[in-house]
Amino acid sequence: MYLKTFVMLIAVFSTALVSTGCYSSTAELPSIKSLEIPAHHTPEGFKNLYIDDGDKNFFSFVNMRLFGPEQWADHQALAAQVPTQSVNIERLHNPSTAGQVTWLGHSMFLLQHQGVTVLTDPIFSDYASPFSFTGPKRYIPHMMNYSQLPDIDIVVISHNHYDHLDAATIMQLGNTPQYYVPLGLKAWFVDAGINPKRVIEMDWWDMQQANTNTQIHATPSQHWSARGLGDRLETLWASWVITIGDYQVFFAGDTGYNPVQFKAIGAQFKHFDLALIPIGAYAPRWFMKNYHVNPEEAVQIYQDVRAKKAIGMHWGTYPLTAEAPIDPVLRLSEALIQQQTSTLTLNFGVFAIGETRGLHRLNL
């Protein structure tokens, strides 16, 4: 049953146009000025700058999924591997004056600081799918209901895939938040009933002053976009920088790794108090590498952007790829041990789904 629904979903997405391009070991760090030239804009849509987007197609993905040698984990059977805890609803509605962050699963975080509440890539649906009854089904229960959320001021969306842009959740959020989205996505929100004034489209390196103490920057990532069979690469994908007062957060969205873009982000912003970085959905590696980092590459992003602390996301929630639910956490721990030295302290860990921690005492 699961295989049938998975194949049905990928047929709708046409998600298989992923490639296995190589990275250049001699790539130079470009200036921010040069990155502002929209090389990622093409007549055919948006493009990644450091990989070849086109050497696989829909059929190669189906062939890999159905007939490839990789053993796919039974995520539902292994769900107990993922730590969870009930959300402290009272704490969400009365956040610490020093700020706090809550992981609600997958790439959905609630960031609360200095009276501003930000929600990233919200999805409260059980299926990461265009359908409400089939597709990759969440195998960890929601730790809170949508109705229990505090008032949301800002929503940032990394790209339009169903596990990051959920129509039902957006319609529930309605016109209360201000939405920050990559180029091309505003029309989708308007079609969903959102007031166009509540949606701000941004290109890489654009900045918006959200309010007197909050800035939102769109920054590069390495991914792709599509919600159906005919709209591949028509909308942009992005990572985000969220600056609230004295606290700066990097939200990586969904991304593969390259040795240029994340170093450029680090060079531009100098430091981050916190980075939210994907660590899951990476197997089989030969197929997923260009668009999904593995834990070792997540550690490299953490170092490239010059973050003080990082939380791993994009794992333990939806059955998207072959690895077992806990594998990203185990590999992250191993990668940190290998990188740690007497002069280098790495503060990169994971939350339980539903967990809230204060920003300024965030030890991972």
List, for residues 118-175, the tens digit of each pLDDT value. Answer: 999 999 999 999 999 999 999 999 999 999 999 999 999 999 999 999 999 999 999 9
Q: What is the mean pLDDT of residues 97-118?
A: 98
Counting residues of the chain whose pLDDT is more than 70, the rounded percentage is 87
Q: Is the pLDDT of residue 22 over 60?
A: no
Q: Is the pLDDT of residue 67 over 90?
A: no
**In this structure, is the dihedral angle defined by the CA atoms of residues 316, 321, 326 and 331, taken in order, positive or negative?**
negative
* pLDDT at site 219: 99
Q: Are 351 and 357 in contact (CB under 8 A)?
A: yes
Q: Are 111 and 117 in contact (CB under 8 A)?
A: yes
Q: What is the mean pLDDT of residues 319-325?
A: 97
Domains and CATH numbers, the chain: 2-20+37-358 (3.60.15.10)
5 pLDDT tier (thresholds 50, 70, 90):
very low
Q: What is the mean pLDDT of residues 333-347?
A: 86
Q: What is the mean pLDDT of residues 94-100?
A: 94
Residues ≥6 apart with Cβ < 8 Å to 309: 273, 274, 275, 347, 348, 362, 363, 364
Q: Is the pLDDT of residue 28 over 70?
A: no
Distance (Å, rounded) from C-alpha 128 to C-alpha 134? 8
Q: Is the pLDDT of residue 272 over 60?
A: yes
54 pLDDT tier (thresholds 50, 70, 90):
low
Interval 291-319: pLDDT, tens? 999 999 999 999 999 999 999 999 999 99
Strands (E), 83-147: 100-103, 109-113, 116-120
Mean pLDDT estimate for the chain: 89
* pLDDT at site 11: 45
- Cα angle, residue 163 at apex, residues 82 and 332 outer, rounded to 5°: 40
Range in 57-61, 249-253, 322-326 with the lowest mean pLDDT: 57-61
pTM (global) more than 0.85: yes
* pLDDT at site 32: 52
